[in-house]
Structure 1
Amino acid sequence: MRSFKRVAVIVGLSALSTLAFAEQWEEVKSADGIKVSLSKVEGSDYKAYRGVVLIKAPIAKIRALQEDVAGSCAWIHECKLQKLLKHEGDQSWTYAQFNTPWPVTPRDSVLHVTTTQDADGSVTRKIEGVSTYLPEEKGFVRVATANGYWKLVPKGDATEVTYQLHTNPGGSVPSMVANKFVVDAPFNTLKALKEKAEKP
């Protein structure tokens, strides 16, 4: 029992460390009901992003859109392809390829997603990059690290959606491209998700 408690404490501390940057957010965009904030991350050249929006749709509909791994590529920013690699209980492993502006080499990523549900119906999907889960694909640079989450909170007939992520895109990315991506990715993703979820 003692060892289990020790593991629980270690896991808890590591989870906190990945979210330690969450206290230093600066709002950089607010439009179409979507608020995007950025945060510096110690030891990283890339900022974390967080987008928040209220979607007039039940949580079940948004969950269904997210759990359609291949279909969700249609509303994820610059997603070219996405597929489910493995599903096991509340955990899943996904592979995705992303378009990038010239001259940046296209990126791909492998993510481990853990889904939990709270008593109030809220759903959290913890996102963790697992870059070595698959061999690297020719013509793509693998996203080196990714840490963040999706949070879906029921608000009556609507759902408050939070999308937070910090990545190290791997390879070389010009600062202008990186700075644009951390604003566009949460904004465009949430805008497209909102439009899809609110369709009758």
Structure 2
Amino acid sequence: MRLSALACLAALFAIPVHASDWSLAKEEDGIKVFLKEIPGSTFKAFRGETTINADAAVIKRLQEDVEGSCEWLHACESQRLLKQEGNEAWSYTRIDTPWPAKPRDSIVHVTNEPLADGGFTRTLQGAPTYLPEESGYVRVSELDGYWRIEPVSEGKVKVTYEVHTEPGGEVPAWIVNKFVVDAPFNTLSGLRELAESKVGR
């Protein structure tokens, strides 16, 4: 009976560990980066989290400025809006990929949804066939993720940025391993710096 009870307790305490699967890869300057193995993929998903001293409206304006967001998006060479339709948008991005990997580009379908607390989510879905492939670029074949902006107090929001991609073609392991940590960290750092500089303007 005692062994059975101990086994049950062990199973109960083990559930959260297996349910999460996210491992902390970096924590610095108020930004946390987590990584997760994805079944059937050789590329890890990433999740970045931080708080920003700005309200949700400031973040929303910066994210909807498609061309301007290259200022803070990690490895963004250029970006343009392809189509806007209500709460949906399609954008084209050229990615500054380190040598020796071939240059990448991606097309992302973004869906904006308000949250009851005054925040919002931006669901990200790759749309690789929306336009013909560009000469000299390898199209990112899959992309799934989201932004979630949640107010935590007046003038402060929690920002979560989660993405998993299949970059297409061959990519050296060291580039992949560096990208999944640098992308959320540098993106959130850049967004936070710009957003906080806009407060009060």
Fold shared, TM-score > 0.5 on shorter chain: yes
Q: 1:115 aligns with which of 89, 112, 117?
A: 112
Match of 2:158 among 142, 157, 160: 160
Which 4+ stretches in 1 moved above 3 angstroms?
Answer: none
Q: Percent identity?
A: 53
Q: 2:175 maps to what in 1?
A: 177
Match of 1:92 in 2: 89
Matches within 5 A, 1:1-200: 23-156=20-153, 157-200=155-198
Verify the 8 A CA contact 1:22 1:39 in the aligned structure 2.
no
1:29-54 CA-to-partner distances (Å, cap 9, x unmatched) read 00010000000000000000000010
1:23 Cα deviation (Å)? 2.7
Q: What code does the residue aligned with 1:74 have? A: E
**1:68-99, CA deviations, whole angstroms, 9 ceiling, x for partnerless residues?**
00000110001010011000011000000011
Deviation (angstroms), 1:24: 1.0
Aligned-residue offset at 1:176: 1.1
Task: Name the CA distance, whole Å, in 2 between partners of 1:85 and 1:22.
Answer: 38
Letter of the structure 1 residue corresponding to residue 183 of structure 2: A
Query: Which shifted more, 159-168 or 116-125?
Result: 116-125
Q: Distance in 2 between matches of 1:86 and 1:167?
A: 22
Deviations 1:91-135 (A, max 9, x none): 000000011111111110000000101211120000000100000
Rounded Cα–Cα distance in structure 1 between residues aligned with 2:92 and 2:63: 14
Which amino acid is 1:122 matched to?
G
Structure 1, unmatched stretches of 5+, are 1-20
Q: What number of residue pairs does the alignment pair up?
A: 180
Residue segments in structure 2 that go unaligned for 5+ positions in a row: 1-17
Counterpart AA for 1:37: F
Q: Distance in 2 between matches of 1:35 and 1:22?
A: 19
Q: Which amino acid aligns with 1:181?
A: F
Mapped to 2, the partners of 1:41 and 1:176 lie a distance apart of 18
- Provide the C-alpha distance between the structure 2 equivalents of 1:70 and 1:34, rounded to a whole number of angstroms: 25
Residue identity matched to 2:21: Q
